[in-house]
Amino acid sequence: MSDPLLDAADFTDDDLIPAIVQDAETDQVLMMAYMTAETLQETLDTGRMVYWSRSRQERWVKGQTSGHTQTVEEARLDCDGDTLLFRVHQEGGACHTGFRSCFHRRAADDGWTTDGEKVFDPDAVYE
Protein backbone atom coordinates (compact mmCIF):
# COMPACT_ATOMS: atom_id res chain seq x y z
CA MET A 1 0.00 0.00 0.00
CA SER A 2 1.33 3.40 -0.95
CA ASP A 3 1.70 6.26 1.52
CA PRO A 4 0.17 9.71 0.74
CA LEU A 5 3.48 11.41 1.60
CA LEU A 6 5.36 9.17 -0.80
CA ASP A 7 2.75 9.78 -3.50
CA ALA A 8 2.98 13.57 -3.08
CA ALA A 9 6.78 13.81 -2.91
CA ASP A 10 8.40 15.32 -6.01
CA PHE A 11 11.76 13.61 -6.50
CA THR A 12 14.56 15.16 -8.58
CA ASP A 13 15.66 13.77 -11.94
CA ASP A 14 18.18 11.59 -10.08
CA ASP A 15 15.34 10.17 -7.91
CA LEU A 16 16.32 12.02 -4.73
CA ILE A 17 14.52 14.41 -2.40
CA PRO A 18 16.18 16.57 0.28
CA ALA A 19 15.15 15.89 3.87
CA ILE A 20 15.66 18.45 6.62
CA VAL A 21 15.80 16.92 10.09
CA GLN A 22 14.75 18.87 13.16
CA ASP A 23 14.75 17.96 16.85
CA ALA A 24 11.11 17.48 17.87
CA GLU A 25 11.74 18.77 21.40
CA THR A 26 14.01 21.79 20.81
CA ASP A 27 13.24 22.70 17.15
CA GLN A 28 17.01 22.71 16.47
CA VAL A 29 17.85 21.86 12.86
CA LEU A 30 20.05 18.78 13.11
CA MET A 31 20.96 17.89 9.55
CA MET A 32 19.99 17.69 5.90
CA ALA A 33 20.32 14.54 3.82
CA TYR A 34 18.76 12.94 0.77
CA MET A 35 16.22 10.18 0.45
CA THR A 36 15.04 7.95 -2.37
CA ALA A 37 11.49 6.63 -2.66
CA GLU A 38 12.72 3.38 -1.14
CA THR A 39 14.43 5.00 1.87
CA LEU A 40 11.41 7.25 2.41
CA GLN A 41 9.09 4.25 2.39
CA GLU A 42 11.38 2.38 4.80
CA THR A 43 11.46 5.41 7.10
CA LEU A 44 7.67 5.63 7.06
CA ASP A 45 7.34 1.88 7.67
CA THR A 46 9.87 1.63 10.51
CA GLY A 47 9.76 5.06 12.17
CA ARG A 48 13.57 5.24 11.96
CA MET A 49 15.37 7.62 9.60
CA VAL A 50 16.88 5.96 6.53
CA TYR A 51 18.77 8.01 3.93
CA TRP A 52 20.59 7.73 0.62
CA SER A 53 24.31 8.52 0.68
CA ARG A 54 25.25 10.34 -2.52
CA SER A 55 28.97 9.91 -1.85
CA ARG A 56 28.78 6.15 -1.18
CA GLN A 57 25.80 5.53 -3.48
CA GLU A 58 24.08 3.40 -0.87
CA ARG A 59 21.29 3.37 1.68
CA TRP A 60 22.20 4.17 5.28
CA VAL A 61 20.21 3.88 8.47
CA LYS A 62 20.96 6.77 10.83
CA GLY A 63 22.67 5.36 13.91
CA GLN A 64 23.43 1.92 12.50
CA THR A 65 27.16 2.45 13.11
CA SER A 66 27.17 5.14 15.82
CA GLY A 67 24.08 4.18 17.80
CA HIS A 68 22.92 7.80 17.45
CA THR A 69 19.46 7.05 16.10
CA GLN A 70 16.63 9.25 14.91
CA THR A 71 13.06 8.20 15.67
CA VAL A 72 10.39 9.93 13.59
CA GLU A 73 7.86 12.02 15.48
CA GLU A 74 6.39 13.83 12.47
CA ALA A 75 6.88 14.04 8.70
CA ARG A 76 6.02 17.09 6.59
CA LEU A 77 6.25 18.06 2.93
CA ASP A 78 6.83 21.63 1.76
CA CYS A 79 4.34 23.53 -0.43
CA ASP A 80 6.14 22.59 -3.67
CA GLY A 81 6.38 18.94 -2.69
CA ASP A 82 10.13 18.89 -3.28
CA THR A 83 11.55 19.00 0.27
CA LEU A 84 10.76 16.88 3.31
CA LEU A 85 10.92 17.94 6.94
CA PHE A 86 11.20 15.32 9.66
CA ARG A 87 10.82 16.11 13.34
CA VAL A 88 12.71 13.42 15.22
CA HIS A 89 13.81 12.25 18.61
CA GLN A 90 17.61 12.35 18.31
CA GLU A 91 19.64 9.93 20.39
CA GLY A 92 23.19 11.29 20.76
CA GLY A 93 24.71 13.42 18.03
CA ALA A 94 23.36 13.87 14.52
CA CYS A 95 26.63 15.07 12.98
CA HIS A 96 29.34 12.61 11.97
CA THR A 97 31.93 15.11 13.26
CA GLY A 98 30.70 14.62 16.83
CA PHE A 99 28.34 17.55 17.29
CA ARG A 100 24.63 17.31 18.08
CA SER A 101 23.78 19.28 14.91
CA CYS A 102 25.51 19.42 11.55
CA PHE A 103 24.82 23.17 11.67
CA HIS A 104 27.23 23.89 14.52
CA ARG A 105 29.29 26.44 12.55
CA ARG A 106 28.14 30.07 12.57
CA ALA A 107 29.47 32.97 10.52
CA ALA A 108 31.20 35.62 12.64
CA ASP A 109 32.94 38.89 11.82
CA ASP A 110 36.33 37.18 12.00
CA GLY A 111 35.40 33.95 10.21
CA TRP A 112 33.56 30.98 11.68
CA THR A 113 32.70 30.12 15.24
CA THR A 114 31.44 26.84 16.65
CA ASP A 115 28.30 26.60 18.75
CA GLY A 116 28.25 23.89 21.38
CA GLU A 117 30.65 21.11 22.13
CA LYS A 118 31.08 17.66 20.70
CA VAL A 119 28.72 15.09 22.21
CA PHE A 120 30.82 12.13 21.06
CA ASP A 121 34.27 11.31 19.71
CA PRO A 122 33.94 10.43 16.02
CA ASP A 123 37.35 8.71 15.97
CA ALA A 124 36.15 6.26 18.63
CA VAL A 125 32.80 5.66 16.91
CA TYR A 126 33.92 5.37 13.26
CA GLU A 127 37.15 3.39 13.71
Tell me the CATH number at 47: 3.10.20.810
Tens-place pLDDT, residues 80-116: 999 999 999 999 999 999 999 999 999 999 999 999 8
pLDDT band at 123 (very low <50, low <70, confident <90, very high): very high
Q: Does residue 65 sit within a domain?
A: yes
Instruction: Please give the single-letter amino acid code of residue 21.
Output: V
Is 82 annotated as belonging to a binding site? yes
Share of the chain above pLDDT 70, in %: 98
pLDDT at 63 over 90: yes
What is the domain count for the chain? 1
Is 123 annotated as belonging to a binding site? no
Is 78 annotated as belonging to a binding site? yes
Contact yes or no for 9/76 (Cβ under 8 A): no
Q: How far apart are the first and last CA of the chain?
A: 40
Q: Does residue 42 sit within a domain?
A: yes
Is 80 annotated as belonging to a binding site? yes
**Full residue range of the structural domain in which residue 54 is found:** 4-92
pLDDT for 127:
75
